[in-house]
Amino acid sequence: MRTLIFDTDIGVDDAFALAYAARTQHLLGITTVFGNVPVGQAVKNARLFCGKMAIEAEVYRGCSRPLAPSAPAALHGQDGLGDAFENEYSDRAPGAVQFIIDSVRAQPHQITLVAIGPLTNIATAINQAPDIIPLVKELVIMGGAFGTDGHSGNVTPFSEFNIWKDPHAADQVLTSALKVVVIPLDVTHKVLISGEEVQRLNQPVLSAICRPYLAYSLAKEGFSGMALHDTLAVAWLTLPQAFTLTDSPLRVITEGIACGQTVRKLSALASRQDPFAGLPAQRVALGVDADAVRAHFFATLTAP
């Protein structure tokens, strides 16, 4: 069991991941960030979901905009949680970035950061306090796409949503000395759950919030179900043996038609200009035992 700071722009699949994390890890706090919804709504959503699911964790308010502008989306309903519940919670909360900095300094080498939204909070924290970089136990990111088995971007042909929302922050984080594990669409698209299986979890809150998400999937892809995208960042912590990883320096393209694309160094051949020169190798999951991850997820969420 890890001690986690759970960084999220909480939408539907984020909520599934949070429910899973609450049952498998120790949540030190939930830091919110803009992304699926504005950051104030993310604070309200985190509090609402924790209240509905009896999750005890303090919620913190993080960054409200990317390091450079990008566009909105409403896949998760207008409120980010499927418009399933009235939400009277306050959007005021202590600062997320300072919470990350203070927590890592207070518990060096003990805290794992799990980031399943744009990486703005993480980039801001390491920019403000670079001394925390070697003190973070690990940073696990759900984000990016590298084209394995045809799994490329989900918001452009190149770019995954979390990275695309703040590519400059992502490039800063992935090129830093943080110990990073990236869980990209290459593996998350392989771990699917049908609408019927959601019902069999016997988790009424999860069933309620995912209805617009399932409807969108059915309309766009002909599948009444969803990929357990963000949940796989937590699954890495619970079942690392289910993942196949490769080590490589990483970059994020920050402009042009491929803005938001994650790229890794594929060759050791010399080149005149090497954008990976001097960068640390990060770990990227490019394979997954989907059956093992699904089985553990179902067993965890259906347990009393």
CATH number of the domain enclosing 63 = 3.90.245.10
Q: Annotated catalytic residue: which of 76, 109, 229, 296?
A: 229
Cα 191 to the center of its chain, rounded Å: 15
What pLDDT does residue 58 have? 98
DSSP 228: -
Cα 291 to the center of its chain, rounded Å: 21
Residues ≥6 apart with Cβ < 8 Å to 168: 66, 67, 68, 123, 252, 254
Residues ≥6 apart with Cβ < 8 Å to 95: 60, 61, 62
> What tokens were used for 282?
């990060």
What pLDDT does residue 72 have? 44
Phi and psi at 16, nearest 5°, equal -60, -45
What pLDDT does residue 84 have? 58
What pLDDT does residue 71 have? 46
> What tokens were used for 8?
């999220």
* Range of the structural domain that residue 30 is part of: 3-302
Reduced to 3 states (helix: H, G, I; strand: E, B; else coil), residue 44 is helix
User: How many CB atoms are located within 10 Å of the residue 301 CB?
Assistant: 18
Rounded distance between C-alpha atoms, residue 29 and residue 7, angstroms:
9
Phi and psi at 275, nearest 5°, equal -70, -5
pLDDT tens for the chain, residues 1 to 304: 999 999 999 999 999 999 999 999 999 999 999 999 999 999 999 999 999 999 999 999 999 999 976 544 444 455 555 565 677 777 889 999 999 999 999 999 999 999 999 999 999 999 999 999 999 999 999 999 999 999 999 999 999 999 999 999 999 999 999 999 999 999 999 999 999 999 999 999 999 998 888 888 888 888 889 999 999 999 999 999 999 999 999 999 999 999 999 999 987 777 788 899 999 999 999 999 999 999 999 999 998 8
Rg of the chain's alpha carbons, rounded to an integer?
18
User: How many CB atoms are located within 10 Å of the residue 72 CB?
Assistant: 10
Assess whether 229 carries a catalytic annotation: yes
Amino acid at 256: G
Rounded to 10 degrees, the C-alpha dihedral 111/230/126/89 comes to -90
| Nearest residue to 188 (alpha-carbon basis) of 238, 149, 139 | 149
What pLDDT does residue 73 have? 45
Q: How far apart are the first and last CA of the chain?
A: 19
| Nearest residue to 2 (alpha-carbon basis) of 141, 112, 139 | 112
Work out how many domains the chain is built from and give that number: 1
